[in-house]
Structure 1
Amino acid sequence: MKLDVLCMGEPLLEFNQIPDRGKNTYRSGFGGDTSNTAISVARQGLSSGFLSKVGNDTFGRQFLELWQREGVECSNVEQHAEAPTGIYFVTHDANGHHFTYYRSNSAACLMRSEDVPTKLLAQAKVLHLSAITQAISNSFCDTAFAAIECAQENGVLISYDTNLRLKLWTLELARKVIHRTVPLCDVLLPSLEDATALTGLENPEAITDYYLKLGAKLVVLKQGDQGVRVANGKKVCEISGHAVQTIDATGAGDTFDGAFLSEWLRLGDPFVAAEYANAAAALSTMQYGAVDSIPYRSSVDEFLRRKL
C-alpha cells in the first residue's frame, strides 16, 4: 500500500476536563501527537498510516477501531499481550491547558527497530514522527532513528515535530537527541515555546536561522495565535494568526502538522500549505478534545473563504 504520510509514535487515551459548574467532569477521547497527525492527514483527504503498539485491552481496541473509522492504515499496529495502552488527563485553568500522563511501560514503549515495516515505509511519501516518539523509551528512540534511516534510503521525506515534554526527559538529553535529528529532516515543525527552550533564542527569525544552519531543509515555526514563520533558506514567509474563540488548544499543533503535510504534498508549496494549516489549527482550538476538534477539509476551506 502506498501512503502519503506514515506516522509513528504513541497513542494515548484522553480524559479531558469539561467545565460543569465546578465539578471535575472528564470526557474520554483519543490523543497521542502523531496519531492525531495521522487523523488530521486523513481528514484533509490524503492517505495516512500509523505505526505503534497498543495494549490488548479496551483502550487499545478502541484505538484500532478509531483508525479504521478514520481511514488510517493500522495493520502493522501490534496489540501487546501484557503492556497497557497509555492514558492522559487534560485540565484547564486561566493559564491554559495542562497534562498529566500515565504511560510508564506502555505498549508503545516496547517498540523495536525490527518492528518497522520497511516495505510499507519505503512506499510512503513522508515519514512523520516527533520527539515524544524518541522520549518515551530508549527502544522507541532507536526505532525512530532506524525508521529515519530506512526512509532516507528509499527517498522518503522526513517530517519532525520537536514536541518537547520535559516530564519525559531532561532538557540536556532532549536537546542532544532532537538536535541530532534535525539535520535529518526535510521539514522541521517546532513550536516557538519548544524552540526557545531548546536553543535559548526567543526571536523567531533567529530560531529559523538556527535550525536552517543546523541542517533542516524547511523550518515551519508554529507560534500559536501569533501565526507561523516559514523559512527554507531562500524565502521567508510570516503568516498572521487567526482571531477565534479558543476553548481548548490540545492537539492544535498536531492538527497543524497533518494539515501542513497534506497541503504541501497536494500543492508542493510550503508557504501556501502553512496558511492552510494555520487555519486548520485555529479551527481545532474551538472545540474540546485532541481528535474531535480536528477539522475536515471542507471546514478549513470554508473558514478560509470567509476570511477573504
Structure 2
Amino acid sequence: MKKLDVVVVGELNVDLILDQIQGFPELGKEKIATAMTLTLGSSSAIFASNLSSLGARVGFIGKLGVDVFGDLVLTSLKKRNVDIGQIIVQGATGTGATVAMNYDHQRAMLTYKGAMDELRLAEVRWDYVQTARHLHLSSYFLQSGIKPDCAALFKRAKDLGLSTSLDTNWDPDERWDPELYEIFPYVDIFLPNEDEAMLIATCKTVEAALDKLAQHVKTVVIKLGKSGALAKQQGKTCKSDGFKVAAVDAVGAGDSFDAGFIFKWLRGGDLNQCLHFGNMCGALSVTKAGGTAAFQSREQIAQDFENYFGYKEK
C-alpha cells in the first residue's frame, strides 16, 4: 500500500482577501474595504488542504521564504494533516502573496510570486514521489522555475506508475503556451475552467474546446462555475449541474472542485460521480471566506454535504 494518495507539486502563497469594497481602486485615491481575511492561498495549497480534509493522504513539494507568510502556510497545511516534509524553506526570496478584491461574484487579483518562482525539477525527490498513487500540479503558468520541465515531471511520474492531473489556472501573460500539448500525453485528468479551456484549445465554444482537448488527454473536465462542470472521457461526454448556495467568496472554488473530483476518482468513482462530488466541493467552498475555511474536517464536511445538498456517503 502506498504511503500517500496524492503528492502535489506546486506554488505556495497566502491570500489577503478584501470584501465589501467601496468602489474600484483608482490611482491617487484611497478606497475602503470593510471586511478582510488573511488565509492560506495558492491553488496547489488549497487543493492539497481540502483534499486532505476530505480524507486523502496528501504530501506537498514546494518552496517558501523565511517569513511570517511562510509560517502561516506551513502551519495551515500541517493543521490539515498535509505532509510538509518536502517543502523547502529558503531565505533568498519571500513567500508569495495574492491580494484578492471581491466584487459581488467577480474578483480582481494581484500576485507577488516570490518563492513560487524558485522550485526546480532537480529539487523534486523521486523517492518521495513514488510513495504516492497520484501526482497533481496546479498554476502551471505561475511556476516559471519548473514550467519548462513539466513534461519531464509528468512523464517521470507516469513511468513510476502514478496517475496524474493538471490544472493550469490562468495565464497572467495570456500566451497560453502551445508547449502544454507536450505535457498532455502524460496527463490523465485535465481540469481547466471554461475560459482557460477555450483559450488553450483556441476554440470559441466550450463544447468545441472539450472535443479538441479530449483528443490529447484521457479525461478532460471543464469547470463552468455555478453552472457545474462538463467532461469527456473515452468519447463519452457528461454534464453535471452546479448547486445553488449563498456565496460569500469564490476564491478557491475551482481548486475545491479539483479536490473533490480527484478524491472521488481515486476511490473508483465513475465520471458522473466524480463531477457531482466535485460540484459539491466547489459549492461548499464559496460558503466561507477563503479557499479552505469550509473544509475544516471530514465530520464537518459530511454534515454540510447533508445539510446543503442532501448527500450522505454510502
Give the drift of 1:133.
3.4
The aligned counterpart of 1:40 is: 50
Contact 1:67 1:74 in 2 (8 A): yes
% identity of equivalent residues? 25
The aligned counterpart of 1:190 is: 192
The aligned counterpart of 1:305 is: 310
Q: What letter is aligned with 2:217?
A: A
Question: Distance in 2 between the 1:83 and 1:260 partners?
Answer: 34
Contact 1:97 1:248 in 2 (8 A): no
Give the drift of 1:91.
0.5
Mapped pair 1:136 → 2:137: no
- In the TM superposition, what are the counterparts of 1:242-261 in structure 2 within 5 Å? 242-261=243-262
Question: Distance in 1 between the 2:278 and 2:293 partners?
Answer: 17
Q: Write the deviation string for residues 11-56 of structure 1: whole angstroms up to 9, x where unpaired.
A: 1111101327883243211110011110111111111111101001
The aligned counterpart of 1:116 is: 124
Question: Distance in 2 between the 1:8 and 1:206 partners?
Answer: 30
Runs of 4 or more, structure 1, over 4 Å off, are none
Mapped pair 1:278 → 2:279: yes
Contact 1:227 1:278 in 2 (8 A): yes
SS, match of residue 109 in structure 2 = strand
Identify which range, 195-204 or 156-165, moves more after superposition.
195-204
Gaps of 5+ in 2: 23-30
Question: Distance in 2 between the 1:259 and 1:194 partners?
Answer: 20
Q: What letter is aligned with 1:67?
A: L
Mapped pair 1:165 → 2:193: no
Gaps of 5+ in 1: none
Question: Distance in 1 between the 2:311 and 2:46 partners?
Answer: 26
Given the alignment, which residue of 26, 29, 32 partners 1:23? 32
The aligned counterpart of 2:162 is: 156
Give the drift of 1:302.
4.3
Contact 1:6 1:51 in 2 (8 A): yes
Q: Write the deviation string for residues 48-87 of structure 1: whole angstroms up to 9, x where unpaired.
A: 1111010011111221111111000110101012211011
Contact 1:113 1:142 in 2 (8 A): no
Q: Write the deviation string for residues 114-148 of structure 1: whole angstroms up to 9, x where unpaired.
A: 21110111121111012x234332x2213533321
Give the drift of 1:269.
1.8
Question: Distance in 1 between the 2:211 and 2:195 partners?
Answer: 16
The aligned counterpart of 1:293 is: 294
The aligned counterpart of 2:106 is: 96
TM-score, structure 2 normalization: 0.88
| Corresponding residue pairs, total | 298
More helix by share: 1
CA RMSD in angstroms comes to 2.1
SS, match of residue 74 in structure 1 = strand
Question: Distance in 2 between the 1:89 and 1:39 partners?
Answer: 20
Identify which range, 93-102 or 184-193, moves more after superposition.
93-102
Identify which range, 85-94 or 20-29, moves more after superposition.
20-29
SS, match of residue 101 in structure 2 = strand
The aligned counterpart of 1:208 is: 210
Mapped pair 1:10 → 2:11: yes
